[in-house]
């Protein structure tokens, strides 16, 4: 795999990985990951002839992490994705894959800018309205979102006792050491949590559109943070083709736990009729 490059986008530096010459495919990672979340999947898509685009979203990985909370508002994060496509001079519709927060950003891109996207793959996180109306079980699983609204406390909670809470959430995921290393850098944990703080009321009150981009939703039964209902109910908010697949034997981090099965499922969708 090629080394990423640093590019200046919307006043910040993003760490961008691009490789391949075929049909464009953009990956958007979530919390607390970076574009390295896709490292096991990318070879499958390069072999299949895609032009792979992945970058560290603002506040994560080797991209800049502005201090101010408002720097992580949804419109700014969405603008980063569109600016990356403009920088690369992509002149055709792009296939899009997102996981966790990246899946929400992917939904937002497809809802507000469908003209740029051919097909979408939402991993773990369903349509925003499906998530909002998923019921008590989802609210119980999402307790941390309320906790993250408090000043300073979430930073203490996550890092307390050698990151005990993060270890518990992640289970035995070997990626945990990388997350801790990245989040332990000055200001990085607050930057990651500011994604939740800056967008709480937006997510709770926005009147989201229905999706006009053909979408594949992928969920894993071992997801600690999300229910299956918030994914399967996404079909209610589609004005385009919808398909649902479940990946077995995986935690929330499907790209890391089951990359081969995930790549096969996505390729089947992208190469479908």
For residue range 130-177, what is the model confidence (pLDDT) as tens digits? 999 999 999 999 999 999 999 999 999 999 999 999 998 888 899 999
Return the C-alpha torsion angle 201, 83, 39, 173, nearest 10: -10
Angle between helices 74-87 and 101-112 (to 10 degrees): 70
Angle at 142 between CA 256 and CA 95, to 5 degrees: 45
Q: What is the pLDDT of residue 172?
A: 83
pTM of the model as a whole: 0.97
CB contact at 8 A, 238 and 244: no
CB contact at 8 A, 94 and 103: no
CA 75 to chain centre: 15
What is residue 12's three-state secondary structure? strand
CATH superfamily of 5-270: Alpha/Beta hydrolase fold, catalytic domain (3.40.50.1820)
Residues with Cβ within 8 Å of residue 202, at least 6 apart in sequence: 73, 74
CA–CA separation, 84 vs 168, rounded Å?
35
Query: How many CB atoms are closer than 10 A to CB 221?
Result: 11
Helix extents (H) in 113-243: 128-132, 136-141, 143-147, 153-170, 176-183, 188-205, 229-232
For residue 198, is pLDDT > 90? yes
For residue 173, the surrounding DSSP H or E stretch is none
Q: What is the pLDDT of residue 265?
A: 98
Q: What is the pLDDT of residue 20?
A: 97
Report CA-CA distances (Å) from 250 to 69, 141, 177, 262.
32, 17, 19, 10
Structure confidence by residue, pLDDT tens digits, 66-108: 999 999 999 999 999 999 999 999 999 999 999 999 999 999 9
Domain boundaries, the chain: 5-270
CB contact at 8 A, 56 and 62: yes
Share above pLDDT 90 across residues of the chain, in percent, rounded to a whole number: 95
Enumerate the β-bridge partners of residue 219.
246
CB contact at 8 A, 144 and 179: no
Q: What is the pLDDT of residue 1?
A: 79
Of 64, 66, 67, 45, which is closest to residue 55 (Cα–Cα)? 64
Q: What is the pLDDT of residue 5?
A: 97
| Residue 156 zone, left/alpha/beta (φ > 0; ψ -120 to 50; rest) | alpha
CA 76 to chain centre: 15
Report CA-CA distances (Å) from 199 to 85, 145, 147, 188, 246.
24, 10, 14, 18, 28
Burial of 240 (C-beta count, 10 Å sphere; 0-12/13-18/19+): middle
């Amino acid at each position: 795999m090629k080394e990423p490059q640093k590019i200046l986008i919307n006043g910040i530096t993003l760490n961008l990985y691009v490789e391949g010459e075929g049909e464009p495919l953009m990956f958007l990672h979530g919390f607390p990951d970076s574009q390295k979340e896709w490292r096991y999947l990318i070879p499958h898509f390069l072999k299949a002839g895609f032009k792979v685009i992945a970058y560290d979203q603002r506040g994560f990985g080797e991209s800049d992490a502005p201090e101010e909370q408002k720097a992580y508002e949804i419109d700014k994060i969405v603008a980063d994705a569109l600016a990356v496509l403009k920088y690369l001079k992509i002149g055709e519709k792009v296939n899009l894959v997102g996981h966790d927060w990246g899946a929400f950003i992917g939904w937002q891109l497809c809802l507000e800018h469908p003209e740029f996207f051919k097909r979408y793959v939402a991993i773990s996180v369903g349509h925003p309205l499906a998530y909002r109306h998923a019921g008590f079980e989802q609210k119980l699983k999402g307790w941390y979102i309320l906790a993250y609204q408090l000043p300073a406390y979430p930073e203490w909670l996550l890092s307390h006792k050698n990151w005990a809470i993060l270890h518990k959430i992640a289970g035995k995921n070997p990626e945990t050491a990388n997350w801790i290393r990245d989040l332990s850098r000055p200001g990085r944990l607050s930057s990651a949590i500011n994604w939740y703080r800056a967008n709480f009321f937006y997510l709770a009150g926005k009147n989201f559109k229905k999706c006009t981009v053909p979408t594949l939703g992928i969920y894993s039964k071992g997801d600690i943070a999300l229910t299956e209902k918030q994914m399967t109910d996404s079909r209610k908010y589609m004005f385009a083709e919808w398909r649902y697949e479940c990946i077995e034997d995986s935690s929330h981090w499907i790209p890391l736990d089951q990359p081969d099965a995930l790549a096969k499922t996505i390729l089947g969708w992208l190469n479908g009729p």
